[in-house]
Amino acid sequence: MAKGIHTELTFETAIELSLLEDGGYVKALKDNGSSSPIFDTNEPYRTHFLIEIPVHPVFHDQANDQVGDQVGVQVGDQADDQVNDQANDQAHKLTKEQIKILKYSKIPRSNKDIQEKGLKLKVHSDNFKRHIEPLIEKGLLERTIPDKPTSPNQEYFTTDIGQNTLSIYYKNKDSND
């Protein structure tokens, strides 16, 4: 590599390139399905740099499971209360279409199936954005292939929080009838 190139690189870019050499850490993260690292420096001073490596979703879930097992029943009860509170709040804010999606997607379903069979709508990106995407953002619906959201094999299923939200919705509905 020519000498002049190094002087033109920012400190952040130089660090990123050094981690990419010979496959490096960035390639390893990509290969295991992790998110890309985020590089931050205090340009132009170059006194430090920070590399943020997001926790892989699978590891995050495993870590949460282990922490939950170690902490005990009291924290478990508090977490259940928080989940129930969250589900209760969510249940009051859902549209009738979103309730249909959660109910229909107890088993994984494609976007097409959800729109055509679950909602009796034509398949359209606006319908996805209006009805399905908000459920994903709220954690009530999840992708079967989270690291490839546009995969043609993508399906969506109701999460545990989504199931809990449905239960609370129907419980509230029955008590109001």
In the chain, the domains with their CATH numbers are 1-72 (no CATH), 81-176 (1.10.10.10)
- pLDDT tens for residues 72-118? 544 455 556 665 666 666 666 788 999 999 999 999 999 999 999 99
When computed from its CA atoms, the radius of gyration of the chain, rounded to whole angstroms, is 22
Q: How far apart are CA 83 and CA 130, in angstroms?
A: 24
Task: Give me the pLDDT at residue 164, please.
Answer: 85
Q: How far apart are CA 53 and CA 38, in angstroms?
A: 7
Contact by Cβ (8 Å): 26, 32: no
* Environment class of 166 (CB within 10 Å of its CB; exposed 0-12, middle 13-18, buried 19+): buried
Residue 124, pLDDT > 60, answer: yes
Residues 6+ apart with CB under 8 A from 128: 111, 115
Task: Give me the pLDDT at residue 5, please.
Answer: 39
